Structure 1
Amino acid sequence: MTTSTANGNGADQGQTSGDFVAQIAQNLPFLRRYARALTGSQTSGDTYAAATLEAMLETPDIVDRSMDPKVALFGAFHAIWSSSGAPVDKGGSGAFAKAQAHLAKLTRNTREALLLHTVEEFRTGQVAQIMGLPEAEAEELIAIAQREIADSILGKVMIIEDEAIIAMDLQSIVASMGHAITGVARTRTEAVELGKAERPDLILADIQLADNSSGIDAVNDLLEALGDVPVIFITAFPERLLTGEKPEPAFLITKPYSEEQVRLAASQAMFFSSTETLLA
């Protein structure tokens, strides 16, 4: 059976093996984004993504080539993830331990279903295929996750964004969730001053700022000054930040974004109470 991709393009039954492999490769950055959002950690996420690729090489049958390549890739990942029991690590301390305690309270499989649907933009039927579930069950898992995560934590949010319309939109979305807004910064300097004036519980940061300064640099300055604060980066070119060559953000939203994506990422980031510093 041929399925369609998350962006609406159908799989080509006549595609060559080389085409299929090339499309798998093109979607690896997005698998890595999903894996780290799922685990809350770049290291853990990349470990599962790497294990998926190894399994695909050792056991080619784990990939259903009748599916769209992206759906097949994520399906292979879930076969690995599920076989490991989707473990919650109870070790560690500080923010990591707090994150794992939160994760242990979630209904099984809900976080996976919601991330697939909202961040990776798979339709409900595709989520069901990836997770090996009936479509109705996948739909219910998404609904449960939305309730459980959104109700878990409220806090103060700082926005680093130089485009006024986008900044206003982000403020509206975050405020509608019940969070307080500490303010909006348009430059690296403004961001550091704002963060030091009132410590946020979450930072939403664009990459390119008004004075051509870097949102990445601004965030690193803030993390150095404030300690561990969850961060969500927003960019039109996520693949440029998902290269695997340096530390990367656990939470990354692609422009243009949807309200649902912002809501999910904000809830997830505060839920995990952890962050990955992205070095310039």
Structure 2
Amino acid sequence: MHALIIEDQTLIAMLVEDSLRRCGFTSFDFAISKDDAVRSAQARCPDLITADVELDPGSGIDAVDQICVGPPIPVVFVTGSPLEVSERMPQHLMLLKPFESDDLIAIVKIALARADNARQNWHTN
């Protein structure tokens, strides 16, 4: 499985990658800005996106909004800005920074299960 990690702090991106490897992900793209994220997703559609809200430059919310226009892609926001996610992207799961690896793994499993259900509904409509 392939994941897109949208995070402008290298150490946090590495922690997310390590957790996702424990979930069975084997390939990764990393994006530090909205534009990098959109380009990465266009080049290779991810099976999962993790995103921070505040990027330098840009916003992870804006990146996800632009990327997720077709079949459902599971998204987990890993952020210190929960209010903006709650207001603009309440359909996606969120994990607050700082986070524990086991918590990220648990929430990723929930996001993947939700996306499987959404994809089945999307293809039947």
TM-score (ref. length: structure 2): 0.84
Alignment of 1:174-213 (within 5 A): 174-211=20-57, 213=58
| TM-aligned CA deviation for residue 197 of structure 1 | 0.8
Structure 1 unaligned segments of length 5 or more: list them.
1-154, 276-280
TM-aligned CA distance change 1:227 to 1:164, over 3 Å: same
Rounded Cα–Cα distance in structure 1 between residues aligned with 2:39 and 2:80: 26
Query: Pairwise mapping of residues 19-98 of structure 1 onto structure 2 (< 5 A)?
Result: none
2:85 maps to what in 1?
241
Q: Give the equivalent residue in structure 2 for 1:264.
A: 106
Q: Whole-Å Cα distance in 2 between the matches of residues 185 and 247 of structure 1?
A: 19
Task: Flag the structure with higher helix content.
Answer: 1
SS across alignment from 1:233: strand
Alignment of 1:167 with 2:9, yes or no, is no
Larger relative contact order (Cα-Cα within 8 Å, sequence gap ≥ 6):
2
Point out the structure with the larger strand share.
2
Residue in 2 that maps onto 1:147: none
- One-letter identity of the residue aligned with 1:227: P
The higher radius of gyration belongs to 1
TM-score by length of 1: 0.39
Residue 181 of structure 1 deviates from its aligned partner by: 2.7
User: What runs of 5+ residues in structure 2 fail to find an aligned partner?
Assistant: 120-125
CA-based RMSD: 1.8
Distance 1:181 1:209 in 2: 22
DSSP-derived class of the 2:102 partner: helix
Superposition misfits of 4+ residues, deviation over 6 angstroms = none
Partner of 1:253: 95
- Deviation of 1:229 after TM superposition, in Å, equals 0.7
Tell me which residue corresponds to 2:59. Answer: 214
What is the CA distance between 1:247 and its match in structure 2? 4.7
**Residue 105 of structure 2 aligns to a residue in which SS?**
helix
Deviations 1:177-198 (A, max 9, x none): 2212331000011001100111
Q: Check whether the contact 2:61–2:89 (CA below 8 A) recurs between aligned residues.
A: no
Aligned identity (percent) is 28
Per the alignment, residue 125 of structure 1 pairs with none
Shift of 1:248: 1.3
Equivalent pairs counted in the alignment come to 117
Matches within 5 A, 1:121-160: 155-160=1-6
| Residue aligning to 2:75 | 231
